[in-house]
Structure 1
Amino acid sequence: MLDGQTIWWPLLLSTLAGLSTTIGAVLAISRTPDESFLAFLLGTAMGVMATVSGAELWWHKAVQRQDWLGVSLAVAAGAAAFALLDPLLPKPPEPQQLLLHEADKQVEPDAVLQLRLSSQAEVKLATGLRAHHSGLMRLGLLMAITMSLHNLPEGCAVAFSAFTDFGATMALAIAVHNIPEGLIIAVPVYAATNSKTKAIALAAASGLSEPIGALFALFVLRPFVSSLERLDYVLAAVGGVMLAVCGLELWPEARKCKQDVRMLQGVLLGAVAMGWTLLVGV
């Protein structure tokens, strides 16, 4: 039976990890994101997730349980499950579609609607601007829905890991991964509305699907993996999911930015930072 003391820690970790999308939103409204910056962020997320998955959830679990075959099969099962599910999930657009010019942000939709249109050309211009901003808002909403769906299984992963000694590390890895997600939600919303509040709020709302995933894991899935032995193999499968996310989601998106050096710099930074936290036991 779960009680308040049992669920508060996984809920706290999953909420903090999910709300890191607001960091990406703040970055989006404070500067114009370019391909170099996005490639670096995606690379950092890859470095963090691959390190915690490969070092902690795969290698360490295999050594700890002295069962390389069983743990490796669990990792492979997690990766295969995500690979089968991935084509069914809605996809974000190309990064280039989200890297808007500063001029897009400077157009005031309300001001455009209030213009005194004195010619047919001006009417056509205002209509085009309204359609442009409407399209951007729809794009932002689509991104929020897409990222919310992706965050649900991440919330499950944080909830399961919360009962181990590296729960905070797992939450940190997910949090770093969520920063670029917040950015790609906030960019089109900010460009469409010129409202920092709306951009940050929508990114934050998307991140809150992580504690929802954590609650699902605690109340629906946890009874099936209550023993420590089963939990270790479930966590190994979670590591496989995270490795698949790196290979099938983050890597292709970062390569599309055509900034491989910046991407590799991010991978190195993420791997070193996460490796250090695992080494010192953060």
Structure 2
Amino acid sequence: MNLALKGILYSLVAGLATTLGALPFMAMKKGISRRTLDILLGFAAGVMLAATAFSLVVPSIELGGPLRFVIGFTLGAIFVDIMDKLAPHEHLIKGYEGPLEHSKVSKIWLFVIAITLHNFPEGMAVGVGAFTTEALVIAMAIGVQNIPEGAAVMASLVGAGYKPTRALRISFLTGMVEVVGGLLGAILISVVRPLLPYAMAFAGGAMLFVISDEVVPETHSGGFERASTYSLIFGFIVMALLDNILG
């Protein structure tokens, strides 16, 4: 299979896992408890953390050496930081972030923008990862963490008063953001193959920034830090084992 097409298809499957996580909540009439939400997001953070370390950082260094890794990793973190400051967005728990002037943007679109900022580097990781031996592992990692993330998004939207059908459509769209990231990443590496170690490190830096700046603080702000931490550890273990088995 053409490697670029492989990256796009893998990112599509990983993105659809968000909908898979959301589907069980179609019958819900209210949201889930804060403890359950923190556990779901903690697990997703653990999977992302292991995927970043084992499937992006290590291959990037092996392919391009320490300098290319440092450059790409730093640029990825800076990119998400800048977008986080410039783009108005609404988090599940933390609430609004970004420029002060956002009254013309509906809350639901602010929320979609926030998920977009998170999911784009994940899709990019899958797209560029298709050009490495870690292709299946990266796609599996992103797909696995998308399941609890999709559940959290769906349950939060239903809890905020959205009808289940509309909440499911929004969850689906947030997953499709990863296809865009995968498409751009796959095309980029197809055209300029030497950028592969930079691109893998870039995706890793962006994902680590999201974990540290967004996911962990949110899961540690509701009084269920210990449950969230153990869930993160469990997610890390699951992904580390998957990487060992599939890698």
Q: Same fold (TM over 0.5)?
A: yes
Alignment of 1:156-235 (within 5 A): 156-187=124-155, 189-190=157-158, 195-219=163-187, 221-222=188-189, 225-227=192-194, 230-235=195-200
Label 1:253 to 1:176 Cα distance change in 2 as closer, same or farther (>3 A).
farther
CA distance in structure 2 between the partners assigned to 1:96 and 1:247 by the alignment: 14
After TM superposition, the structure 1 = structure 2 runs for residues 95-174 of structure 1, keeping only pairs within 5 Å, are 95=93, 139-174=107-142
Question: C-alpha distance in 2, partners of 1:33/1:193?
Answer: 12
Change beyond 3 A, Cα 1:47–1:158: same
1:271 aligned residue = 236
Task: Point out the structure with max Rg over C-alpha.
Answer: 1
Task: Measure the CA separation in 2 of the matches of 1:76 and 1:192.
Answer: 36
Residues 210/41 of structure 1: CA separation in 2 closer, same or farther (3 Å cut): same
Number of the residue aligned with 2:75: 77
Whole-angstrom CA distance in 2 between matches of 1:61 and 1:180: 27
Q: In 2, distance between residues paired with 1:56 and 1:150? A: 18
Counterpart-to-counterpart distance in 2, 1:80 and 1:224:
24
The 8 Å contact of residues 82 and 244 in structure 1, kept in 2 or not, is answered as yes
Q: Does the CA contact (< 8 Å) of 2:118 and 2:210 recur in 1?
A: no
TM-score normalised by length of structure 1: 0.71
In the superposition, the TM-score normalised over structure 2's length comes to: 0.80
Q: Structure 1's 69 and 248: CA in aligned 2 closer, same or farther, altered over 3 A?
A: same
**1:96: Cα distance to partner?**
8.2
Specify which of 217, 235, 239 is matched with residue 252 of structure 1: 217
Give yes or no for contact 2:59–2:197 (8 Å, CA) kept in 1: no
Question: How far is the alpha carbon of 1:208 from its aligned partner?
Answer: 1.5
For structure 2, the residue ranges without an aligned partner over 5 or more in a row are: 96-105
The root-mean-square deviation of aligned C-alpha atoms, in Å, is 2.9
TM-superposed deviation, 1:204: 1.0
Per-residue deviation at 1:14?
Answer: 0.7
Deviates more, 1:82-91 or 1:10-19: 82-91
Helix, strand or coil: the match of 1:20? helix
Q: Specify the SS of the correspondent of 2:89.
A: coil
1:151-202 Cα distance to aligned partner (Å, 9 max, x none): 3333222111112111222122222443454345434654577743332222
Change beyond 3 A, Cα 1:7–1:65 = closer
Measured after TM superposition, the shift of residue 88 of structure 1 is 2.0
Deviations 1:3-24 (A, max 9, x none): x844432122111111122133
CA contact (8 A) 1:43 1:267 kept: yes
CA contact (8 A) 2:26 2:165 kept: no
Higher deviation after alignment, 39-48 or 180-189: 180-189
Amino acid at match of 1:167: A
Q: 1:69 to 1:256 in 2, by over 3 A?
A: same
The 1:92–1:168 alpha-carbon spacing in structure 2 relative to 1, beyond 3 Å, is: farther
CA distance in 2, matches of 1:8, 1:212: 13
Amino acid at match of 1:9: K
Q: CA deviation at 1:259?
A: 0.7
Maintained 8 Å contact 2:68/2:197: no
SS in 2 for 1:163: coil
Question: Which runs of 5 or more residues in structure 1 are unaligned?
Answer: 98-137
Q: Match of 1:90, as an amino acid?
A: P
- Alignment pair present for 1:12 and 2:9: yes
- 1:219-275: CA deviations, max 9, x gaps? 4x2355313xx3123212211111111111111111123211111111111111111
Matched positions, count = 235
For 1:222, give the aligned amino acid.
Answer: I
Match 1:90 to one of 88, 91, 102: 88
Identity of aligned residues (%): 29
